[in-house]
Structure 1
Amino acid sequence: MQRKIYLATLVALSVTAISSVYAAKTIENDALAVEAAKISLTQAVTTAEQHVGGKASRAEFEKHKGQWVFDVEVVNGKKVMDVKVDPTSGKVIKAVEDKSDHDDDHDHAD
């Protein structure tokens, strides 16, 4: 009888622990976290394109330095710019040239 109670308790604790880990991971899931954003991905892309004066080639909602941001890659001529847009205010937080995305004959990862 003691063994059955112990086993049932162990199973219950395991299920609780697994549920907690799963819940923590789903909160960190980009697709679910975007629900808290005040602007849409489309609005972030438009803001980034206007800020840099180019066309977006990639956009995603991601955690950057502990903060959720829209990360938009914008191409302007031969420059590739990495633009971070605040999901709450819709303002550009940062725009820097992304030198790692410049194609050359030695870069096969792109």
Structure 2
Amino acid sequence: MSIRKSILVIAALAAAAAGVSAFAAGGSGNDARIIPNAKVSLSQAVTAAEQHVGGTASKAEVETHAGKPVYDVEVVKGPQVFDVKISPDQGTVIAAVADKADHDDHDHQD
């Protein structure tokens, strides 16, 4: 994993451990507002996604999927990138699909 991706993962996990207050701030369109009410932490969601795919998380965020808030974890396994949706209430995998748009892009700078 590149240094940049390692820093992103560490920052995400640190924010989760700190009560996710950094993510909770924001406007009315901020999906992260669900995190304080979630039964599953971001770090638990990252762990569930990594175990499901058998890879390493490179990015984690809160999104809306099918009208409901979910954790969206990007997991890299070899040359493949997977988008894994995790329930913030149960910690279960809702969906896991290969991300064709990010294929072979996980080593490039934005």
TM-score scaled to structure 1, two decimals? 0.67
Residue aligning to 2:84:
83
Q: Over aligned residue pairs, what C-alpha RMSD do you find? A: 2.1
- What stretches of structure 2 of length at least 5 have no aligned partner? 1-25
Quick check: 1:26–1:32 contact (8 Å CA) kept in 2? Answer: no
Rg (Cα) greater in structure:
1
More helix by share: 1
Q: Would you say the 8 A contact 1:72–1:84 is kept in 2?
A: yes
Instruction: Indicate how the Cα distance of structure 1 residues 109 and 55 shifts in structure 2: closer, same or farther if over 3 A, else same.
Output: closer
- Aligned with 1:39: secondary structure? coil
Cα distance in 2, alignment partners of residues 50 and 99 from structure 1: 21
- Stretches of structure 1 that go unaligned for 5 or more consecutive residues are 1-24
Mapping 1:10-49, distance limit 5 Å? 26=27, 28-49=29-50
How far off its partner does 1:62 sit? 1.4
Q: TM-score, normalised by structure 2?
A: 0.67
1:13 corresponding residue in structure 2: none
Distance 1:27 1:63 in 2: 14
Instruction: Give the number of equivalent residue pairs.
Output: 83
Q: Give the SS at the match of 2:91.
A: coil
1:66 aligned residue: 67
Match of 1:56 in 2: 57
Higher RCO, Cα 8 Å, sep 6+:
2
Q: Which amino acid aligns with 1:88?
A: D
